[in-house]
Amino acid sequence: MNQHVTHGESDWFTHGLPGLHRKIDAILKRQRKEYGDYYYFYGQPYQALSILGVYGERSTEERFEAYGLRELIKPTDRVLDIGCNCGFVALYTSFRTGCRADGVDINPYMIEIGNLCAEYLRVDDRVKLTAARIQDYEALAQYSVLFSFATHWTDDENYRVPLREHFERCAAYLEAGGLLVFETHAADVGNEAFYEAIKTFTDIFTVESKRDTDKGERHLYLFRRV
């Protein structure tokens, strides 16, 4: 009888997934019991990570490709993802490109899940996810790339600031010439006040490109720090 014998190192990725999922389920159970604040997607992660079988509303792999992050991000980049949920876009970008990536989100349970997944993917030596409010996050150094994916205001109302203030905060995190990859909310599409506000930020950012994503429901901008 032929029998496949698993090898601890070569088969770790597949055979370790059930254990990872049990840990994630335990974190989600604690979140439902302990976390009194708003949380996304019926208590599940807002972001999905298909390579690890983690269920969520939006596919990280699809966003990575749709936003062109494979071409935009270099191994030498240092990326910050603000309002990162589980930080899956940051850690997957690091996994695929070799860059260093940090993420910040107010939800400590999502951050715990993200750090577990970063450890599982063996990128925890270059990915650091922190539980904190965006406005409280203190970076140790400036970044070459910043991700702001529909986080210039949040549904839980923990972050509601004027758009100008959000862009100034992003600029403060970026080095001169740094790249801001900015995704709008669906509500921003067609909003003339939003478009007019963008035009007033030329002292801190120049617009490199703008295109539709999510079947036209959102815009993706690339801004360059002046």
Using one digit for the tens of pLDDT, what is the confidence trace for 148-186? Answer: 999 998 877 778 889 999 999 999 999 999 999 999 999
CB-count exposure of residue 122 (10 Å: 0-12, 13-18, 19+): exposed
Determine the pLDDT at residue 14. 79
Stretch 30-54: mean pLDDT:
83
In this prediction, residue 122 carries a pLDDT of 95
pTM of the model: 0.91
| CATH number belonging to the domain at 12-225, selected among 2.60.210.10, 3.40.50.150, 3.30.70.260, 3.90.950.20 | 3.40.50.150
Would you say residue 3 has pLDDT above 60?
A: no
Instruction: Report pLDDT for 15.
Output: 83
pLDDT(111) > 80:
yes
Choice among 29-33, 129-133, 171-175, 186-190 with the minimum mean pLDDT: 29-33
Confidence class of residue 210 from pLDDT cuts 50, 70 and 90? very high
Summary mean pLDDT of the chain: 91
**Per-residue confidence (pLDDT) for residue 225, from 0 to 100:** 98
Separation in Å, CA 148 to CA 34, 179, 206: 28, 11, 16
2 pLDDT band, cuts 50/70/90, is: very low
Query: pLDDT by residue (tens digit) across 43-94?
Result: 778 899 999 999 998 999 999 999 999 999 999 999 999 999 999 999 999 9
For residue 4, the model assigns a pLDDT of: 46
Residue 177: its pLDDT value, please?
Answer: 97
Residues in the chain, overall count: 226
Q: What is the pLDDT of residue 172?
A: 97
9-13, 116-120, 152-156: segment of lowest average pLDDT? 9-13
Residue 200: what pLDDT?
95
